[in-house]
């Protein structure tokens, strides 16, 4: 017998340990939650470049095999996390007071300021938006489409029975407004200012006043 050859006692001990491990049921739901929570922490601290299967396994305190078994890889974890964020976004938007709009201009104001405030309240959604702008993958396209669907459902559920303004490309205007809002929210997260305007409470009040002014593009 060589020094590396296990003794009968060691073999028996290993079998017992292996049997005990197999007999202990793994709490899959808790493990999945721990992995998703670890992904959230990594994204907030290091951004998307800091997220891979090794860093995720270490942060969650699990074997990397479980990430593949439960999520088929990091993309599956990201998709689960994004789904939770979409749920939060939908609930946050739905919690806003019922619309008091009597014109499409008023309704657009409510919609835009409501979405802006929701974005500002979710650093993780902004991290996701920044990632979508920096690279193009099938996963990120799916996530962007899912978040857009949340916004569209919220808009449709709130919109009063008002006619669309005549002679105005409503879709194009809304795209411009939403892009501006999204970029300002991203700028606030990364450096707290944009084009000389400090994005603190006073700065955001100025931004919302500017949005109100720009909405004059819609007929009353």
Instruction: Give me the tens of pLDDT residue by residue for the chain, a chain 220 residues long.
Output: 444 444 444 434 344 334 433 433 469 999 999 999 999 999 988 888 889 999 999 999 999 999 999 999 999 999 999 999 999 999 999 998 888 888 889 999 999 999 999 999 999 999 999 988 888 989 889 999 999 999 999 988 888 788 888 888 988 999 999 999 999 999 999 889 999 999 999 999 999 999 999 998 887 6
Is the separation of the CB atoms in 43 and 129 below 8 Å? no
* Cα end-to-end distance, the chain, whole Å: 93
Distance CA 101, CA 104 (A): 7
Is the separation of the CB atoms in 102 and 66 below 8 Å? no
What pLDDT was estimated at residue 5? 45
Flag whether the pTM goes above 0.85: no
Cα→Cα distances 145→32, 71, 115, 141, 150, Å: 24, 21, 16, 6, 9
Architecture of the domain defined by 27-72: Orthogonal Bundle (1.10)
What pLDDT was estimated at residue 160? 79
Residue 197: DSSP 8-state: E
Is the separation of the CB atoms in 78 and 127 below 8 Å? no
What pLDDT was estimated at residue 123? 92
Distance CA 179, CA 144 (A): 13
- Nearest CA to 60 out of 77, 46, 82, 75 is that of 77
Residue 135: DSSP 8-state: -
Residues 172-187, buried b or exposed e (16+ Cβ, 10 A)?
Answer: ebeeebbebbbebbbb
- Nearest CA to 130 out of 188, 203, 208, 71 is that of 188
**Which residues pair with residue 198 across a beta bridge?**
193
Kind and range of the H or E element at 166? none
Distance CA 173, CA 184 (A): 17
- Nearest CA to 93 out of 101, 103, 104, 85 is that of 85
What pLDDT was estimated at residue 167? 84
Radius of gyration of the chain (CA): 24
């Amino acid at each position: 017998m060589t020094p590396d050859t296990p003794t009968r006692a060691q073999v028996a001990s290993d079998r017992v340990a292996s049997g005990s491990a197999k007999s202990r049921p793994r709490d899959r739901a808790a493990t999945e939650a721990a992995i998703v929570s670890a992904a959230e922490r990594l994204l907030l601290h290091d951004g998307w470049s800091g997220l891979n299967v090794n860093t995720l396994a270490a942060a969650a305190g699990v074997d990397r095999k479980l990430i593949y078994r439960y999520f088929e890889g990091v993309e599956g974890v990201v998709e689960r996390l994004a789904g939770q964020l979409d749920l939060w976004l939908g609930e946050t938007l739905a919690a806003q007071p019922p619309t008091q709009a009597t014109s499409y201009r008023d309704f657009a104001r409510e919609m835009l300021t409501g979405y802006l405030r929701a974005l500002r309240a979710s650093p993780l959604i902004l991290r996701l938006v920044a990632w979508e702008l920096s690279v193009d993958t099938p996963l990120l396209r799916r996530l962007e489409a899912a978040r857009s669907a949340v916004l569209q459902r919220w808009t449709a559920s709130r919109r009063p029975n008002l006619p669309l303004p005549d002679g105005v490309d409503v879709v194009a205007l809304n795209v411009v407004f939403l892009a501006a809002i999204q970029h300002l929210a991203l700028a606030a997260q990364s450096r707290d200012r944009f084009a000389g305007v400090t994005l603190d409470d006073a700065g955001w009040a100025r931004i919302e006043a500017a949005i109100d002014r720009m909405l004059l593009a819609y007929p009353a």
